[in-house]
Structure 1
Amino acid sequence: MKVVVLTGGVGGAKLVLGLCHAVPATDVTAIVNTGDDFVHLGLAISPDIDTLLYTLSGKANAAQGWGREGESWGFMAALRELGGADWFQLGDGDLALHVLRTAALARGEPLSRIVAGFARSWGIGPTILPMSDDPVATEIVSDEGVLPFQHYFVARRCEPRVSAIRFVGAEQARPAPGVLDAIAAADVILIAPSNPFLSVDPLLAVPALRQALVDARAPVIAVSPIVGGTAVKGPTAKLMGELGLEVSAASVARHYAGVIDAMLLDERDPPADLPVRTARADTLMHSLDDRIRVARAALAMAGA
């Protein structure tokens, strides 16, 4: 069974890991948001891709879900001594990915080839594809002006009030090599319970990628990011309120209208009238067993 999953960072990585235990890992392809990518201190950083790499290689910090386990912070301490910008944390081990990626991009290598090389080095079974090798930048229109995504998300901790979200470069972006082929060959396509507006929308903003999902022969199933009528973590609920949306799985399903065929809801969610077929399961993913359970529930829904 060939499974494709569209994903952002921490929440989506949990589902991808579960899928790799529910089906052969080599049958899984993760298409990852790159709207969060940015250049910091001269380094090219791909936060969501790196979260997938760390999670699937067993190197992720288990407590926080991002960064490396057992990380050290000597670089950040030295940076602060010199008055450098310290709002974005770069661990000593984490720097290896950023330095190598920056050097490879400077040589003209595409991001997709760079990521594939990292995955091979760490023996990662599933295929990890950036949504595009072309630059796409998420911008937040807020009461503090237009903010680059990482300044909104990390530096300002999602505090500004949001009125709109833009994906600069998405209209001109082409899906990375392998993305359209993976979607066309898939037996199941899942949208991870990542933030629909910040993590999934950048992928859907790439015209050819969105059209491939619409045309796909496989069922497209979203795993709802709403649990018990609210978001588990992150700014999803706050963002939905600021955009004038009800915080509910129904709102997310309507947002994905025309792309998804069905949605997996959390069993704690109140009854709802959704525009697509639904099934219910316990979608909280604290442990590996939880992640495998949610992956199997989504696959079972596809089979139905």
Structure 2
Amino acid sequence: MTVTPRVVVLAGGVGGARFSLGVRSALASRGEAPATIVVNTGDDLWLTGIRLQPDVDSILYALAGVNDTQRGWGRTGDSERVHHEVQAYGAGWPWFTLGDLDLGTHLARTGWLREGLTPSQVVAGLSRRWDLGATLLPMTDAEVDTHVVVRDGERLHFQEWWTRHRATLEPIAFENPGVDAATPAPGVVEAIRGADVVLIAPSNPVVSIGPILAVPGIREALRATDARVVGVSPIIGGRVVRGMADVCLTAIGVDTSSSGVAAHYGARAADGLLDAWLLAEEDAASASAVEALGIRPVVVPLWMTDAAASTALAEAALTA
């Protein structure tokens, strides 16, 4: 009789979406149950009266096979007629483009929220449209956005700092107002406690994984679970793979290196989170530093250049 491991993934952003695809493929090839993916909702926002969940939608669209892989966000083959019409009225953010198909998702979400559904119920409703091969759970049903405090003391929503300013304004802190009063979404803690494996995707440690871990109860569940907790480095060859994660890491005093991020998460044996850490072949020299933290280093290829590479990486994480 084959034992079916229960796999939980913590993820956000494009890296999380690609890794989630790899996990789905690896589990399917093993004949095992689909993963539960706990998704960051710290970059959610209200814009022109509708609720946006960028990380949820990135992973939703990727698993559905309708994501725009060239831009890294939104739906493939989308148009922007409504966006330009909204801009003609002087509404919204001209630098934050929403495609017409994408807006369909946001309108459905907003309508359900205004009818009284929770974000968890909304994510489940959106997921029913496609055979995703995974269960998506938001990290919390509370509204917990991410704000960036820049050098002059101004506070910006993360999306404005990231998309409009391209992280060029020096950050001194990242805040998640309301997170201390938030609770994990239904099913999140139960999934972690009941898992055999928990994988931390190679997402931005500060603004994608950080908000998930900041929700009271999630970090504690990770420390208490009998599952092995395996992280995947978002750093390859001492550089970030995508985006401006290095700016985020520097702001919180974390070295932009595979061993630096491993130390940031910490070893479970030392009140941290990780049992094992996947680091790139380019960073093999850092394996001893990771091991010294009390975390088992596993050196593997980390570039998710195509579906096969993403699946191989997920397989390595599951094996670890």
TM range (shorter): over 0.9
Aligned counterparts, 1:205-284, within 5 A: 205-257=214-266, 258-272=272-286, 273-274=289-290, 275=293, 276-284=295-303
- Paired residue type of 2:17: A
Q: Report what 2:183 is aligned to.
A: 174
Where in structure 2 are the equivalents of 1:124-143 lying within 5 Å? 124-143=132-151
In structure 1, list runs of 5 or more residues that go unmatched: none
Letter in 2 for 1:187: D
Q: Which residue of 1 aligns with 2:44?
A: 37
Choose 80-89 or 161-170, whichever is displaced more.
80-89
1:270 Cα shift?
4.7
Q: In the alignment, which residue of structure 2 is the partner of 1:285?
A: 304
Task: Output the amino acid matched with 1:143.
Answer: R
Q: How far does the alpha carbon of each residue in 1:168-199 deviate from its partner, in whole angstroms, 9 at most, with x for none?
A: 11111111111111111111100000000010
Aligned to 1:18: 22
Tell me, yes or no, if the aligned pair for 1:229 and 1:270 is still in contact at 8 Å: no
User: Aligned partners of 2:314, 2:264: CA distance in 1, in Å?
Assistant: 22
Contact 1:249 1:265 in 2 (8 A): yes
List gaps (5 residues or longer) in structure 2: 267-271
- CA RMSD of the aligned region, Å? 1.3
Aligned to 2:198: 189
1:103 partnered with 2:117 = no
1:262 is displaced (CA, Å) by 1.4
Aligned to 1:59: 66
CA distance in 1, matches of 2:303, 2:49: 38
1:122 aligns with 2:130: yes
Which 4+ runs in 1 deviate beyond 4 A?
Answer: none
> What's the counterpart of residue 299 of structure 1?
318
Measured in 1, the distance between the counterparts of 2:238 and 2:183 equals: 36
Aligned to 2:77: 70
| Residues 162, 243 of structure 1: 8 Å contact kept | no
Residue deviations 1:103-136, cap 9 Å, x none?
1111110011111111111122200000000111
Moved more, 242-251 or 159-168: 242-251
TM-superposition CA deviations, 1:186-240 (whole Å, max 9, x none) = 1110000000001001011011111100101001111000001111111112222
Structure 1 residues 42-65: Cα deviation after superposition (integer angstroms, max 9, x where no partner): 000000000111000000012122
Q: TM-score, normalised by structure 2?
A: 0.91
Q: Tell me how far apart the structure 2 counterparts of residues 294 and 67 of structure 1 sit (CA, whole Å).
A: 24
Aligned residues: 301
Classify 1:26/1:91 alpha carbon distance in 2 versus 1 (closer, same or farther; 3 Å): farther
Say which SS state the counterpart of residue 304 (structure 2) adopts: coil
1:29 is displaced (CA, Å) by 0.6
**How much has 1:151 moved relative to structure 2?**
1.1
Q: Is 1:26–1:127's contact at 8 Å kept on the other side of the alignment? A: no
Given the alignment, which residue of 196, 209, 212 partners 1:203? 212
Could you tell which deviates more after superposition, 196-205 or 153-162? 153-162
- Return the offset for 1:249: 1.1
Q: Tell me the CA shift for residue 86 of structure 1.
A: 1.6
Range moving further from structure 2, 262-271 or 34-43: 262-271
Q: d(CA) in 2 for partners of 1:281 and 1:270? A: 9
Give the whole-Å Cα distance in 1 for the aligned partners of 2:132 and 2:24. Answer: 10
Query: Match for residue 7 of structure 2?
Result: 3
Amino acid of the structure 2 residue aligned with 1:6? L
TM-score, length of structure 1 as denominator length: 0.96
Q: Which residue of 2 aligns with 1:149?
A: 158
240-249 vs 271-280, which moves further: 240-249
Give the corresponding residue for 1:93.
Answer: 101
Distance 2:175 2:117 in 1: 27
| Distance of 1:194 and 1:219 partners within structure 2 | 19
Check conservation: 1:139, 1:148, Cα contact below 8 A.
yes
Give the AA of the match of 2:89: L
Does 202-211 or 23-32 show the bigger shift? Answer: 23-32
